[in-house]
Amino acid sequence: MLMLVSPAKTLDYETPLPITDFSQPEMLEDAQELIAQLKTLSPADVASLMSLSEKLAHLNTSRFQHWQLPFSSQNARPAIYAFKGDVYTGLDAYSLSKSDMKFAQSHLRMLSGLYGLLKPLDLMQAYRLEMGTKYPNSRGKNLYEFWGDSITNKLNEQLSNKDVLLNLASNEYFKAVNKKTLNAQIITPVFKDEKNGQFKVISFYAKKARGMMAAYVIKNRIKKIEDIKQFNIAGYEFSEERSNVKEWVFIRAQENV
């Protein structure tokens, strides 16, 4: 089983790392091709492309300009410790032991607009480039066309036939995966919280829950998809009646929020 999560816009390159292990991204040639094009953009271009403030536009223009190979522990950081957002708050990488991280390295992947597909310990340099960005490039009119089937092909290399992909990514990022050619059963957990007597997807809670589920799988060494239904962190529980073959719904009562 492989798990997929989205990246985060907020990054952390300051917190001391708990380990010294790292790996190299497998799609760096693609990232380098994309960066070469992004380096031609001015701060005004970046601000317009990503709807950023002037300050953030200058920051990310500078990131593009300073991006360079080779990646090392001096100029880059393992992805799982670099991303800082709701999903990663739930995942809490700093609570993972060295053996947990070894399991994560085999079973967790992060989608990325710049790097395509990342393992937890893959080094990455700071960037901001969401997958849904409509950036015309050498391969097409947006990043989905830039990546084409390459992310799916990379996933297939890491999946065995009749394997399972646990999709904990957002819709924006999972669109970069070609579901028709993916050699796996896809299960998408959906997290719903009770509000005013009804169960709804509340973005902040759902993102955090995706990270918590990833951590649950890692810490419990879960390899059988059915065992996912036992997920009970932070008051969530599996709802058989609300679920179907492709979407497994987990609900949380209001008093547990």
> What confidence score (pLDDT) does residue 254 get?
87
**Domain assignment present for 199:** yes
**Domain assignment present for 42:** yes
Q: Which domain holds residue 53?
A: 2-9+19-256
Neighbour tally for 80: CB within 10 Å: 24
How, if at all, do strands 123-124 and 163-168 pair? unpaired
How confident is the prediction for the chain on average, in pLDDT?
Answer: 96
Residue labelled with tokens 């040639």: 29
Q: What is the Cα–Cα distance from 125 to 32, expressed in whole angstroms?
A: 12
Q: Distance of CA 228 to CAs 174, 208, 213, Å?
A: 20, 16, 8
**Domain assignment present for 26:** yes
The predicted-structure confidence for 162-211, as pLDDT tens digits, reads as follows 699 999 999 999 999 999 999 999 999 999 999 999 999 999 999 999 99
> What confidence score (pLDDT) does residue 162 get?
64
The predicted-structure confidence for 197-249, as pLDDT tens digits, reads as follows 999 999 999 999 999 999 999 999 998 999 999 999 999 999 999 999 999 99
**Domain assignment present for 234:** yes
pLDDT at 257 over 90: no
**Domain assignment present for 14:** no
Closest CA to 117 of 151, 143, 146, 83: 151
pLDDT at 126 over 90: yes
Model pTM score = 0.96
233 contacts 212 by C-beta, under 8 angstroms: yes
Q: What is the Cα–Cα distance from 11 to 228, expressed in whole angstroms?
A: 29
Residue labelled with tokens 């066309």: 145
Q: Distance of CA 7 to CAs 13, 22, 42, 90, 257, Å?
A: 15, 18, 24, 13, 24
DSSP 11: B
- 161: confidence class by pLDDT, cuts 50, 70, 90: low
> What confidence score (pLDDT) does residue 85 get?
94
**Domain assignment present for 106:** yes
Cα angle at 166 between 124 and 23, to 5 degrees? 25
What length is written for the chain?
257
**Domain assignment present for 105:** yes
Total structural domains within the chain: 1
> What confidence score (pLDDT) does residue 256 get?
82
